[in-house]
Amino acid sequence: MRADRPSTTARLIAAATVFLSRDPRFCDLVPSGAAELCARFVSVEAVSRAPLSWVVWLAERATIPGLMLHFMLRKRFIEDTVRASLAAGCEQVVVVGAGFDTLAARLAAEFPQARFIEIDHPATQAAKRLAIDERGNLDFIAANLAEERLQDALAGAYRRDAPSVFVIEGLLMYLTDAQIAVLFAAIAELQRAPGTLVFTVMEPASDGHPRFHNATPLARYLAPSGKLARPLADGEMVLVAERIARP
């Protein structure tokens, strides 16, 4: 992503959320309040209503069929996992690489006893702060984790002695193996109390690169280097790891 603007992926997923909320076939899958918040970041008014909405579906089918539905099902699974942790006594939710995701902003109002922390690139967090008011239990932390340790970025906001959930959605496929190892080691150090880690990963294609298993030839042509936004579609899994007790 460019240093001076939010990522393309963040805008794409926000647009998909708004678009699906206006489709009677899928609107029930969109969590309450999510589309309204996402609409503060992107505008899809011109193509989200008939007859132009078919253009979006045609573009999806021509590149990565099922992409928008995948986005929403992935987010619903993650939200269900976070809600279950909160119901079980979790006191903190940390969303790493949040983009324009609305999970923390929505749940902060519903669970005032818990603290919600988002951490992402400064350009994305600047846009988030303009659109969403921070609450007493909601923090937007701007940090470039390629240059700053997660432990340092969370200093003062995160309690190591409190049960927590870390969410890493649609991020790991952009990192090297070494960067992933550093990130997971940081979470292991931070998460000293019982907690949960929810993260998404993509299965590599035959050439070893993470890629949509159902991507069409057109999608592969548009992104021959594999740099098309990729936290998506067939071939991705959502994994949940729970720390019962600190060894």
175 CB-contact burial (10 Å; exposed 0-12 / middle 13-18 / buried 19+): middle
Cβ(174)–Cβ(202) under 8 Å? no
Helix (H, G, I), strand (E, B) or coil at 167: strand
Q: Which residues contact 52 (CB under 8 A, 6 or more apart)?
A: 46
Per-residue model confidence (pLDDT) at position 190: 95
Per-residue model confidence (pLDDT) at position 203: 75
Per-residue model confidence (pLDDT) at position 141: 95
Cα–Cα distance list, 144 to 25, 49, 216 (Å): 38, 37, 33
* ∠ Cα 167 212 20 (to 5°): 65
Cα-Cα end-to-end distance for the chain: 38
Per-residue model confidence (pLDDT) at position 28: 95
Cβ(117)–Cβ(158) under 8 Å? yes
Per-residue model confidence (pLDDT) at position 228: 36
Please list the ranges in the chain whose pLDDT falls under 50: 1, 224-234, 245-247
**Domain ranges across the chain:** 8-243
Per-residue model confidence (pLDDT) at position 58: 64
Per-residue model confidence (pLDDT) at position 243: 56
Per-residue model confidence (pLDDT) at position 4: 67
* Architecture in CATH of 8-243: 3-Layer(aba) Sandwich (3.40)
Q: Which residues contact 172 (CB under 8 A, 6 or more apart)?
A: 180, 183, 199, 200, 201, 202
Cβ(12)–Cβ(60) under 8 Å? no
Helix (H, G, I), strand (E, B) or coil at 151: helix
